[in-house]
Chain A
Amino acid sequence: AQSVTQLGSHVSVSEGALVLLRCNYSSSVPPYLFWYVQYPNQGLQLLLKYTSAATLVKGINGFEAEFKKSETSFHLTKPSAHMSDAAEYFCAVNLGGGNTPLVFGKGTRLSVIA
């Protein structure tokens, strides 16, 4: 069985500061890992995904994440936060692509302070 733990239900950063959202996973087989963003009253938008290629994955809007097998982690970072980054972020894991269910963490709400 797979699971995802997101540390911190709410993270607050100043505009221009580093964003770090933490995600740890559990999987009995090599996982596929994803970060999604959800803006208020909207669906989920894929930020980036890890599919067993490069361990450092670059996504949209300046976000990136690094897969660390030894730490079972897939933390999301962005060097400089913008006000528009304020949203809910979800880490998810599955066994591969479009035909296996995604298992989501509980989410981290990111607030950006001017």
Chain B
Amino acid sequence: DAGVTQSPTHLIKTRGQQVTLRCSPKSGHDTVSWYQQALGQGPQFIFQYYEEEERQRGNFPDRFSGHQFPNYSSELNVNALLLGDSALYLCASSFRDPNDEQFFGPGTRLTVL
């Protein structure tokens, strides 16, 4: 079992550009959540996808959008990048079970110049 995988590992963009980050969940998991971790901070919830729909959303602007595919993998898109979007983006997968835990991937480090 490969666990949660994310790509790319690192990414450098300039202000105003758009970026797409990808996540493959742990085998069998059907729910994907995305978190943003700014330097020196704890992760903050962006949104969650289940059955190819956004189910819950944190306090992030509409520039942040996502998608879930039939194989449960997911993408995070960020438009009109700002310097403040520089962060580690973490993907977590899980079952929709109250007793289950969320398994995290290694993250994608995004730097906006």
Contact = CB atoms under 8 A, between A and B. Distances in A.
A46 to B, nearest CB: 6
B56 A49 contact: no
Given A43-B107, A44-B90, A44-B104, A99 B50 contact: yes
A41 B107 CA distance: 8
Which residue, B97, B101, B103, has most C-beta atoms of chain A within 10 A? B101
B107 A99 contact: no
Contacts of A34: 101
Interface residues of B, number: 33
B100 A103 contact: no
Interface string B74-113: 0000000000000000101011111111111111010000
Interface in A59-114: 90, 92, 96-107
A102 B43 contact: yes
A43 B48 contact: no
Nearest to B91: A43
Contact of B97 (A45, A99, A104): A99
B106 A43 contact: yes
A28 interface: no
Given A98-B97, A101-B33, 14 more contacts: A4-B42, A42-B106, A43-B90, A43-B104, A43-B105, A43-B107, A90-B43, A97-B94, A98-B95, A98-B98, A100-B98, A103-B45, A106-B40, A106-B42
Interface of B: 4, 29, 31, 33, 35, 40-45, 48, 50, 55-56, 58, 90, 92, 94-107, 109
23 contacts: A32-B98, A42-B106, A43-B106, A44-B43, A44-B104, A46-B101, A90-B42, A96-B99, A97-B94, A97-B100, A97-B101, A98-B29, A98-B97, A98-B98, A99-B31, A99-B94, A101-B45, A101-B48, A101-B58, A102-B43, A103-B45, A104-B44, A107-B41
Interface of A: 4, 32, 34, 36, 41-46, 49, 51, 90, 92, 96-107
